[in-house]
Amino acid sequence: MRTLVAIPAFNEEASIGQVLAELAGHHPLDDVIVVDDGSGDRTSQIARAAGVRVLRHAINLGVGGAMGTAFKYAARNGYDALVQLDADGQHRPEFLERMFEGIGNADIVIGSRYASGEGYQSTAARRFVQRVIASVVSAYARTKLTDATSGFRIAGPRAVALFAEHYPVEWLGDTVESIVLAARQGLTITEIAVVMNERAGGLPSQSIFRAALYTGRILFVLILASFRSVPPRIAELRRRAKREAAAR
Amino acid sequence: MSPQILSIVLSIVFLVIVLLLLRSYVLPEKYAVIWLAAAVVSIVLSAIPGILDWLAALVGIQQPINLLFLAGFFVVFMLLMQVSLELARTRDELRRFVQQQAIETEEARRHGSE
């Protein structure tokens, strides 16, 4: 199975070099791409100097847009699986091997920092919000998920094909909506316990106002997901698959 | 100057502005049509107020001006909705362009170095 590791990065010059150096011990850098989402700093140069390919957005599209680019690139270049890893040093590549064991039985594997309770757990208020979100997402996914907003994931072949056509970009599309979308398309999701670091560079958004806005948006997206139709590009993908099956 | 004349003059000024924008390729045809229609309707309604009175009586509105406000509000709402939809579509197109450009630039770079 050919696997691509995709690292969405926006102004991560402080941590990207370290993240790539660590990743090199667990995955060949030939199969790593950094999606530079319109950074104004040296993110791209550092990544290229480390020997990885860089897909550079001319403008900032957000994490969802960056992952959309990564999935399109993966599908175009014949990769079967795609790993999403953050550029801020939160995700430890040593857990990739364990996460890959899950890809045999599921289309998407999520690395969960809450499943084991070890390592960086974030604040109590934030954990409570995460628990509420996780229980709603779990209901959609018909499996127990404890860390629905984790950006440490592996997408298997079926998920790569799906997300190359359409990756949710609005609001927190890159986290919860992508899971709900995949689940509604019949893909299976599972989680593996991992340990995460506190982010190396950058500040987490922690004000009460921002936290409330974040929670409100996620709940809105989750309610919306219950009655939304299939995104047009995915509907087209399904029609094509059906036609091909009929022709055979 | 009576209010009626003022209203006709303003409507004509509005029509001329739309025509000028259209003429200088600033406002595309697609968006101009609705504004042209609005300008013409407002000229007609200012010139012949009887139409508004008759329409208001027809739908049971006692003050004809309320019908004007209602209809105006509705038209503005629809226009705003159209702008939102266009914006959404444009954002989607822009995102897809940026994504494709990023992928193709990297591919060209690799072919160049081989």
Q: Region B89-108: what's the mean pLDDT?
A: 95
Tens of pLDDT, residues A140-153: 999 999 998 899 99
Taking an 8 Å cut-off on Cβ atoms, the answer to whether A55 and B98 are in contact is no
CB of A93 within 8 A of CB of A29? no
For chain A, which residues score pLDDT lower than 50? 201-203
Domain assignments of chain B as residue spans, ordered by start: 1-47, 65-114
Give the pLDDT score at A202.
Answer: 45
Tens of pLDDT, residues B23-47: 998 988 888 888 899 899 989 988 9
Give the pLDDT score at A204.
Answer: 53
Can you read off the two tokens belonging to residue A164? Answer: 């190359």
Can you read off the two tokens belonging to residue A111? Answer: 């690395």
Q: Which CATH superfamily is domain A3-247 in?
A: Spore Coat Polysaccharide Biosynthesis Protein SpsA; Chain A (3.90.550.10)
How far B71 CA sits from the closest chain A CA (Å)?
31
pTM comes to: 0.84
Judged by a CB distance cut-off of 8 A, whether residue B108 touches chain A is no
Residue in the structure block whose two tokens are 């791209």:
A44
Give the pLDDT score at B112.
Answer: 81
Give the pLDDT score at A92.
Answer: 94
Strands of A81-84's sheet in order across: A53-56, A32-36, A3-9, A81-84, A153-155, A108-112, A189-193
Tens of pLDDT, residues B14-25: 999 999 999 998
Contacts of residue A9, defined as CB under 8 A and 6 or more positions apart, other chains included, come to A16, A34, A35, A36, A37, A39, A43, A47, A66, A87
Give the pLDDT score at A100.
Answer: 93
How far A8 CA sits from the closest chain B CA (Å)?
13
Judged by a CB distance cut-off of 8 A, whether residue B10 touches chain A is no
Tens of pLDDT, residues B62-90: 888 899 899 889 989 988 998 999 999 99
d(CA A25, CA A195): 18
